[in-house]
Amino acid sequence: MSAETVVSFKDVDVVFKEKKKEAVHAVDHVSLDVQRGDIYGIVGYSGAGKSTLVRIINLLQRPTSGSVTVLGDDMASLSAGQLRDKRRKIGMIFQHFNLMGSRTIADNIGFPLRGIKSKAEIKAKVDELLDLVGLSDRADAYPAELSGGQKQRVGIARALASDPELLISDEATSALDPKTTASILNLLKELNEKLGLTIVLITHQMEAVKQICSRVAVMDGGAVIERGSLLDIFAHPQQQLTKDFIDTTMQLDATLDTIAKQPAVQHLSDTERLIRLTYLGDTTDQPIIATLLREYHVVANILFADIQSLQDTPFGNLIIIVTGDSDNIDAALKYLSDSGVNVQPVTIPGGAK
Ligand SMILES: Nc1ncnc2c1ncn2[C@@H]1O[C@H](COP(=O)(O)OP(=O)(O)OP(=O)(O)O)[C@@H](O)[C@H]1O
């Protein structure tokens, strides 16, 4: 483990066994390292084991087997007092904010510091945190008076009260609308850059991962089935589930439905193929479509085009109909592949090949 590793799971297993019920293998032999400064996305559908996995970090959940090391210490080896101190280094934010309704925003934020710091110190820290999350004018309001996005800002400020080195975000944007989600994710990114805060972000929304994460792990059935840098995962997804998650970020299902209705797609001839192209980075600058015509004598008709930005790198998606002789199409698609473009035939359910 390098000095910069903040969290290290080693072959962690969690099995829930309740009387008369079948055992649930909630976390299945997970080994995973989070480095300082990472925003590490853990994505998976409901029940994949994400919450159980992150609860192991602060030992709210003890692993059945395996170990977790946080900021240099094996969590299982800590005394009760050491565990309490360690937990102060780990902030947490949740989907439903978990604020105390009968206390003001300032009191909610300062709550973790009660009994540890003086009143004056707590006030100074709370003011600093309110400023950091953009809520300086709401110190005396109550949670019920705030919007969902504002409540989550309070949750973030409270999580930062004890100057944690790691922030765990458990579906923190899942109850928010897309615009508010984007503003909360921007805030997390800002805190990551400004404070050097390491973040583990668990979510079922690949869109959230796409916006701010540097690394991604995909979980299914308790296991991590794929992992890598954000760019690697988007450029070369291996597992079908990962591909499905990526497709959600461009509403591909809806796009394919629309495309399927087009007469040109419903009646593809033998000289036409429906193809999806994805590419990352510099490939965008190459005159690919023009080269197809000039060098391979095939025509590309673009039905759908989408370019997104992943960590300032363009990520392009095209759906095209390629028309030409079969051999020429094969050669053209090989040229695309060799140029770093990911080429996949598109199947329209009940429709064209
Ligand atoms: N305390 C528990 N006792 C028994 N089974 C549990 C317990 N906690 C979680 N599970 C089971 O473990 C599996 C993983 O749950 P977990 O909450 O970690 O998944 P998740 O990916 O976080 O999903 P969600 O977003 O819905 O919480 C599920 O089958 C769940 O029912």
Choose the CATH number for 5-237 among 3.30.465.10, 3.40.50.300, 3.30.300.30, 3.20.20.60: 3.40.50.300
Q: So where are the chain's domains?
A: 5-237, 252-345
Q: Which atom of ligand 1 is nearest to the CA of 202?
A: 22
Q: Is the ipTM of this complex over 0.90?
A: yes
Q: Which of 15, 50, 170, 225 to mutate to test the pocket of ligand 1 (most atoms within 8 A of CB)?
A: 50
pLDDT value, residue 286: 61
Tell me the β-bridge partners of 169. Answer: 93, 201
Q: At what angle do helices 288-296 and 326-338 cross, to 10 degrees?
A: 140
For 45, residues 6+ apart whose C-beta sits below 8 A from its C-beta are: 204, 220
Question: Ligand 1 center to residue 205 CA distance, Å?
Answer: 17
Contact 150, 138 (CB under 8 A): yes
pLDDT value, residue 352: 42
pLDDT value, residue 353: 42
Question: Ligand 1 center to residue 14 CA distance, Å?
Answer: 10
pTM of the model: 0.88
Query: What is the architecture of the domain spanning 252-345?
Result: 2-Layer Sandwich (3.30)
Q: Which atom of ligand 1 is nearest to the CA of 18?
A: 4
Q: Which of 14, 16, 19 to mutate to test the pocket of ligand 1 (most atoms within 8 A of CB)?
A: 16
For 340, residues 6+ apart whose C-beta sits below 8 A from its C-beta are: 279, 280, 281, 283
Question: Ligand 1 center to residue 8 CA distance, Å?
Answer: 21
pLDDT value, residue 3: 52
pLDDT value, residue 165: 96
- Beta strand 24-35 with 5-16 is antiparallel
Ligand 1 and 50: CB distance under 6 A: yes
Q: Spell out, as residue ranges, where the chain has pLDDT lower than 50.
A: 1, 352-353
Looking at ligand 1, which residue's alpha carbon is closest to its atom 12?
26
